[in-house]
Structure 1
Amino acid sequence: MKPAIVVVLKGYPRLSETFIAQELLELERAGYDLHLVSLRHPTDSKRHPINDEIRAPVTYLPEYLHDEPMRVLKAWWQARRLAGYRVALRHWLKDFGRDITRNRIRRFGQALVLAAECPKQARWIYSHFIHTPSSVARYASDMTGIGWSASAHAKDIWTSPDWELSEKLAAADWTVTCTAGGARHLKDLAPDPAKVTLVYHGIDLARFPKPSRQPSSRDGTDEADPVRILSVGRAVAKKGLDTLADALALLPPGLAWSWTHVGGGELADALKGQVERLGIGARVAIHGSRAQSEVLEAYAASDLFVLPCRIADDGDRDGLPNVLVEAQSQGLPCISTPISGIPELIDDGRTGMLVPPDDAAALAVALEDAIRLPDLRARIGAAAMERVHDHFDHLGTIGQLIARFEASGLVGDKPREKQAS
């Protein structure tokens, strides 16, 4: 029988988490039998084609306990008989004493359901994100005695209290994370730093092959054919899209450019209002979420990718945004900021341009250079594309994750061979 892994996810499927879908698909291809468990129902109206390739069944836990009270009660009745129930209850009571919230109660209720409904063939629990999904995974692991591990990313690392990270890192058999900065932070908090491993996500280069088109010669002098600027991502504080709008408003009036943003998010309406107040609304198109195929078309139609990430007031920040890797795979020159793992991808001046976060004036200078100088865009875009295709192929990184599962006794098949580009 194939090794069976229960994968705990915050929500599934989600348009903003193609890196998770990609990993799930490769684990299935490597011979692992996955059972997906989601804390939330999907909210996106669309889904990526890759989600249709994943065969794993999906179980949705009660998003709110009062929505399915009989399911939760039945789960408690079964779970309380498990050998590890009292251990899980002790851990939860300790956590609840330091975090007296409905969210903490909900996670224990969800863990009860997971433990009671866990597939009999399950041999491991693996959670994506070290905050709420890992709370559910840890409590369920306590109850069932099944080993567990976690994948940590960005917001979950930087907005979780140190005490909680430290205790989860101690309890998990191992944890992987996707940036060197995140790995350093977790190692500093882990009782055993050796249990934390850096594993980049990479991207599926079969879906993002090198483009055959030549870079454009647009230089901002033709109002009928402006330089096309693109950003992709949820409109949330950490993306710095308001800084990008401010920077564009600082550009010389006669410079020809247009800006397209793709991605929903809580600040989308505020962003639309901002560009209108700045007087640049006629040059800006702000769209909601799009499927991966549509995003790929947007990359192909653009000259420049910009994402001026910042650390939000609550400490939230990106790790290494996959959209930067995707854009670079298509030869798009990127302008971003030296936040978290971004300098691990972008070498300023060689494979991209980095400016300080929240500095609209500095971003405007970089934008003007990139708009006026197509040769600069072509040079940086070509170097970035080669780096991504050489070092961020997900078929190389998935092998590192499989090695962690194999060390836990879960041996699948060998990962697919990397195809020559």
Structure 2
Amino acid sequence: MKIAFIVDRFPVLSETFVINQITGLIDRGHEVHIYGKQTDDNKLHPDVEKYKLIERTRYLPEIPKDYLWRLFNVLYLFAKNFSKFYPVLLRSLNIFKYGKRAASLRLFYSSLPFLNAPQYDIIHCQFGRQAVCKFGPYTYEGVVLREIGAVTGKLITTFRGYDISWYVQKYGERVYDELFEKGDFFYTNCEFFRQRAIQLGCDANKIVVHGSGIDCDRFTFKARYPDASGLIRIATTGRLIEKKGIEYAIRAVGEVVKVYPHIEFNIIGDGELKEHFINVIKELDIVDKVHLKGWRNQKEIISILDQTHIFVAPSVTASDGNQDAPVNTLKEAMAMGLPVIGTLHGGIPELVEDGVSGFLVPERDASAIARKLIYLIEHPETWQQMGLSGRKQVETHYDINKLNSELVEIYQQVSGNDNLHSSVEKTLVSSTSPKYIQVSRHK
């Protein structure tokens, strides 16, 4: 099959789930092209180079900020490509149908990377925003690009988190009406977001849960035991933004050190709240305990987690409505045998079984996190069994190889099966994961 991935920026180190799907499809013999905006990330996932993914990527051209210069550039590009692509280019300028998207000339620019593109079997928009965005200044719109003939294929959209939470709160509950009507099929990475999409108007027969996977072979399980020195290492991984809830983990460590001072908390990631976190760490007088490690590539993250005893994923619902699915960094930690502490938030309870593979606590409750940290510090005999349970959970439900094979089956059925939902449902129910059986009951 020929598959077009429409993403935001590419490659993005924190979006390994996209790279995992692309490489899995390539390994299975499918042709994949990627459409997105260029990123300035300095650190790259090793598979970007291994699979030469940049060579498969077609980037959105820079759109001049000055409208007159933009118009002049459009006239030049229109004349240059007129003989072969005039129907598509003309449709992209139809202000009567596409309003500001056409008048601003952004739809014209969005169509350019698709000129000379093959006919695709599947157009996969990795976030709902990439399928129907009417607001972002530099983005693809899968629905409209297919409508003007810039790209062909069945349109599948994935809802992954911010696009079904923050984006809806910002632009209203009708923002996906057009997509739900014109899109061919949808999937979410957890049941929590599937139900949200159905509440917003998605046909329940056109949407299933298909988890975001990791390559378990890359994350070696290791039973956890206390160091001879007595030092307890705690870690978290994620962008330094409100949704990740990292401030509450920092404050929890501030409480724990009063009882158990011999601990170390490593925070892997970067973001807009870095300076705020530095101030909180100073305020709590735990500068020697908490270390902001910045962005790390996957190999570096694995190295840090290999020396870690407890992993924390304290996600919260942000003030702008942004929410998390079962995050991949948490799956990676569980695959490596770490006992974990997560929150009763979004899709995390679908990943972490409270009291079995880790603990779940309320959102924004630093004291609750602290109590669970203290419990784990005082009961290291529980670490190994929790780690084993977590590894089994990830291997059973989130192994990328199983999930990529299921994704291919979804593509095949979407591209050519009239009885679409029953066929896809049958595929997912046949999975070893009980979450798929749960989805099948929501007819």
TM-score range, shorter chain: 0.7 to 0.9
**Amino acid of the residue matched to residue 335 of structure 1?**
I
Q: How far is 1:127 from its partner?
A: 1.3
CA offsets 1:78-125 (integer angstroms, 9 cap, x no match): 5662399279856643xx5xxxxx99958634433244x251344432
Match of 1:15 in 2: 13
Match of 1:66 in 2: 65
Of residues 182, 198, 203, the one that matches 1:171 is 182
Match of 1:158 in 2: 165
Matched, 1:189 2:192: no
Match of 2:210 in 1: 199
Q: How far is 1:404 from its partner?
A: 2.1
**Amino acid of the residue matched to residue 194 of structure 1?**
N
Match of 1:260 in 2: 266
Preserved CA contact (<8 Å) 1:320 1:342: yes
Match of 1:350 in 2: 356
Output the CA distance in 2 between the equivalents of 1:350 and 1:316.
28
Count of matched residue pairs? 395
Identity of counterpart residues, as a percentage? 25
Match of 1:415 in 2: none
**Amino acid of the residue matched to residue 277 of structure 2?**
L
Secondary structure of 1:332's aligned partner: coil
> What residue ranges of structure 1 are gaps of 5+ in the alignment?
97-101, 412-417
Q: How far is 1:387 from its partner?
A: 1.6
Give the stretch that moved more between structures: 231-240 or 268-277.
Answer: 268-277
Give the stretch that moved more between structures: 55-64 or 358-367.
Answer: 55-64
> What residue ranges of structure 2 are gaps of 5+ in the alignment?
134-140, 418-430, 432-443
Matched, 1:215 2:224: yes
Secondary structure of 1:181's aligned partner: helix
Preserved CA contact (<8 Å) 2:95 2:103: no
1:390-405 maps to which residues of 2 (within 5 A)?
Answer: 390-405=396-411
- Please provide the CA RMSD for this pair: 2.7
Matched, 1:43 2:49: no
Secondary structure of 1:119's aligned partner: coil
Preserved CA contact (<8 Å) 1:170 1:190: no
Match of 1:33 in 2: 31
**Amino acid of the residue matched to residue 239 of structure 2?**
R
Preserved CA contact (<8 Å) 2:94 2:102: no
Q: How far is 1:399 from its partner?
A: 2.2
- TM-score, normalised by the number of residues in structure 2: 0.82
Give the stretch that moved more between structures: 200-209 or 11-20.
Answer: 200-209
Secondary structure of 1:150's aligned partner: strand
Secondary structure of 2:415's aligned partner: coil
1:15-414 maps to which residues of 2 (within 5 A)?
Answer: 15-38=13-36, 40-56=37-53, 57-66=56-65, 69=70, 72-73=74-75, 78=82, 81-82=87-88, 85=91, 92-93=98-99, 108-115=107-114, 117-132=115-130, 134-135=132-133, 136-144=141-149, 146-147=152-153, 148-160=155-167, 161-211=172-222, 214-218=223-227, 225-255=230-260, 256-409=262-415
Seen in structure 2, the aligned counterparts of structure 1 residues 340 and 106 have a Cα distance that, compared at 3 Å, is farther
- TM-score, normalised by the number of residues in structure 1: 0.86
Q: How far is 1:316 from its partner?
A: 0.6
Secondary structure of 2:152's aligned partner: coil
Output the CA distance in 2 between the equivalents of 1:71 and 1:137.
24
